[in-house]
A and B are shown apart, each in its own frame.
Chain A
Amino acid sequence: MNPVAGVPPVVTEETEPFWSAAAEGRLVVEGCTACGAESFPPRGICRQCRSRATEPVEITSQGTVYSFTVNHQRWVPDLEVPFAIVLVEFPGHPGVRVVGRLRGCPPEDAAIGMPVDVGFEPGPGGFAIPSFVASGTPS
Chain B
Amino acid sequence: MSTALFERRAVISGIGQSAIGRRVDRSGFQLTLDAIEAAVADAGLTLDDIDGMAMFPGGGAANLPGYANGNLYEIQDALRITTTWRQGLVEGMSLPFYGPAQAVATGQARHVVIWRSVKEGSAARRAGGRPAYGAAKPAAEGPMAWLLPLGMLSPVCHVAPYMTRYMHEFGVTREQLAWLPVTQRAHAALNPDAVYRTPLTVEDYLGARMISTPISLYDCDVPADGATAIVVSAAETAPGLRAPVRIEAMAGVVEGRPSWEQWEDMGRVGHGAARAMWARTDLRQSDVDAAQLYDGFSIEAVWWLEAMGFCGVGEAGAFLEGGKRIALDGELPLNTWGGQLSGGRLHAGFGHTAEAVRQLRGEAGDRQVPGCEVVAVTNVGGFEAGAALLTRW
Please tell me if the beta carbons of B146 and A99 are within 8 angstroms of each other in the complex: yes
For the complex, what is the distance from the CA of A75 to the CA of B130, rounded to whole Å? 8
Question: Chain B residue with minimal CB distance to A11?
Answer: B145
Contacting B at CB under 8 A, from A2-44, are 5-11, 15, 41
Q: Answer yes or no: A100 CB below 8 A from chain B CBs.
A: yes
Residues of B within 8 A of A70 (CB): 210, 212-213
Known: A7-B153, A75-B154, A129-B149. 16 other contacts (CB 8 A): A7-B133, A7-B144, A9-B149, A66-B266, A67-B161, A69-B215, A71-B152, A71-B212, A73-B129, A75-B151, A75-B153, A76-B132, A85-B161, A101-B150, A124-B149, A129-B150
Q: Answer yes or no: A79 CB below 8 A from chain B CBs.
A: yes
Q: Answer yes or no: B3 CB below 8 A from chain A CBs.
A: no
**Interface centre among B134, B162, B210, B212, by most A CB within 10 Å?**
B212
Smallest CB–CB gap between B171 and chain A, Å?
13
For the complex, what is the distance from the CA of A100 to the CA of B149, rounded to whole Å? 9
Please tell me if the beta carbons of A99 and B210 are within 8 angstroms of each other in the complex: no
For the complex, what is the distance from the CA of A15 to the CA of B207, rounded to whole Å? 42
Q: Answer yes or no: A105 CB below 8 A from chain B CBs.
A: no
Please tell me if the beta carbons of B154 and A85 are within 8 angstroms of each other in the complex: no
Smallest CB–CB gap between A15 and chain B, Å?
7
For the complex, what is the distance from the CA of A130 to the CA of B151, rounded to whole Å? 12
Identify 13 residue pairs between A and B in the complex whose beta-carbon atoms are under 8 Å apart, listed by A's number. A6-B134, A6-B149, A7-B139, A7-B149, A8-B149, A10-B140, A41-B146, A69-B157, A70-B212, A72-B211, A72-B213, A73-B130, A99-B146
For the complex, what is the distance from the CA of A10 to the CA of B211, rounded to whole Å? 27
Contacting A at CB under 8 A, from B147-180, are 147-154, 156-157, 160-162, 164-165, 168
Please tell me if the beta carbons of A112 and B164 are within 8 angstroms of each other in the complex: yes
Q: A7-B140, A112-B164 are in contact. Are A76 and B153 (CB under 8 A)?
A: yes
Please tell me if the beta carbons of B138 and A7 are within 8 angstroms of each other in the complex: yes
Determine which of A8, A11, A69, A75 lies in contact with B161 in the assembled complex, contact meaning CB atoms within 8 Å: A69
Q: A10-B139, A71-B157 are in contact. Are A123 and B149 (CB under 8 A)?
A: yes
Determine which of A66, A76, A124 lies in contact with B165 in the assembled complex, contact meaning CB atoms within 8 Å: A66
Residues of A within 8 A of B266 (CB): 66-67
Please tell me if the beta carbons of B151 and A83 are within 8 angstroms of each other in the complex: yes
Residues of A within 8 A of B141 (CB): 10
Q: Answer yes or no: B262 CB below 8 A from chain A CBs.
A: yes
Determine which of B134, B138, B154, B168 lies in contact with A112 in the assembled complex, contact meaning CB atoms within 8 Å: B168
Please tell me if the beta carbons of A15 and B150 are within 8 angstroms of each other in the complex: no
Please tell me if the beta carbons of A10 and B157 are within 8 angstroms of each other in the complex: no
Contacting B at CB under 8 A, from A46-90, are 66-73, 75-76, 79, 83, 85, 87
Please tell me if the beta carbons of A7 and B134 are within 8 angstroms of each other in the complex: yes
Contacting A at CB under 8 A, from B251-307, are 259, 261-262, 266
Smallest CB–CB gap between B2 and chain A, Å?
38
For the complex, what is the distance from the CA of A130 to the CA of B184, rounded to whole Å? 39
Contacting B at CB under 8 A, from A103-126, are 112, 123-125
Determine which of B130, B149, B153 lies in contact with A127 in the assembled complex, contact meaning CB atoms within 8 Å: B149
For the complex, what is the distance from the CA of A7 to the CA of B214, rounded to whole Å? 24
Residues of B within 8 A of A123 (CB): 149-150
Please tell me if the beta carbons of B139 and A71 are within 8 angstroms of each other in the complex: no
